Amino acid sequence: MKNKKILALLFAFLMVLFCGCSGEEEEEQEINPQEFSYDMLDLSFVADEIYKKLEISPLTLESVSKITDKTVLEEQFYLDLKNVVSYDVRSALGNYGAADVAIIRVKEGKAGEVIASLENRKDDRINEFRNYDVYDSYEIALEAEIYEAGELVVMLMLSEDDKAAAKETVDYYLP
């Protein structure tokens, strides 16, 4: 029994020595996103946070995919990737509704061109949903917002409530 106590104390001592554990719970420090720069901003994390807060059909949510194929970005989102620093673009399959989010960090002076590209994508989605309106996707596409936020261009093709929550999330993480 005495050997077990000695081994436990030795193990605890080694843990403190090697991992910096003090045996006391360290106070968690809240991270202030305002202290970060755009270079540190993880657009995928921001998009993940947006999708966690959405109140949409599970089928729609499951149909959302991250668009990484450069050809798709150029041909379906009309993006000239020479104008882009980084991006996270997600789109739902049209037959399950609309839940598209694009967060694009643009090169200086290129926001207007990226906004125009996303306006073309918005028009395509409006036409797609004109005769096939699942989960109010036609109205959602019509009311989609495309705006500039610092070095970002953001497209939110979401319901009004979801757009409001998404904007709060984007604003929260802006450097």
The pLDDT assigned to 96 comes to: 84
What's the token pair of residue 71?
């050809």
**13 located within any domain:** no
What's the token pair of residue 167?
């904007």
pTM, full prediction = 0.79
Number of domains in the chain: 1
Residues 104, 1: Cα–Cα separation, whole Å: 62
Helix axis angle, 160-173 to 43-53, nearest 10°: 150
**27 located within any domain:** no
Backbone angles phi, psi at 30, to 5 degrees: -75, 135
**76 located within any domain:** yes
Average pLDDT, the chain: 85
| DSSP category for residue 126 | H
* pLDDT tens, position by position, 9-26: 444 444 444 454 444 444
Find tokens 């090697």 and name the residue.
18
**158 located within any domain:** yes
The pLDDT assigned to 30 comes to: 55
Q: What is the Cβ-side half-sphere exposure of residue 157, based on CA atoms within 13 angstroms?
A: 31
Range of 123's domain? 33-173
Q: 157 near 54, Cβ under 8 Å?
A: no
**92 located within any domain:** yes
The pLDDT assigned to 132 comes to: 82
Q: Residue 171 — very low, low, confident or very high, per pLDDT cuts 50/70/90? A: very high
**154 located within any domain:** yes
Residues 108, 82: Cα–Cα separation, whole Å: 11
**15 located within any domain:** no
Residues 147, 103: Cα–Cα separation, whole Å: 10
Rounded average pLDDT over 44-67: 94
Q: 159 near 47, Cβ under 8 Å?
A: no
**110 located within any domain:** yes
Out of 12-16, 30-34, 56-60, 94-98, the most confident range is 56-60
The pLDDT assigned to 154 comes to: 98
* pLDDT tens, position by position, 93-147: 988 889 999 999 999 999 999 999 999 999 999 999 998 888 899 999 999 999 9
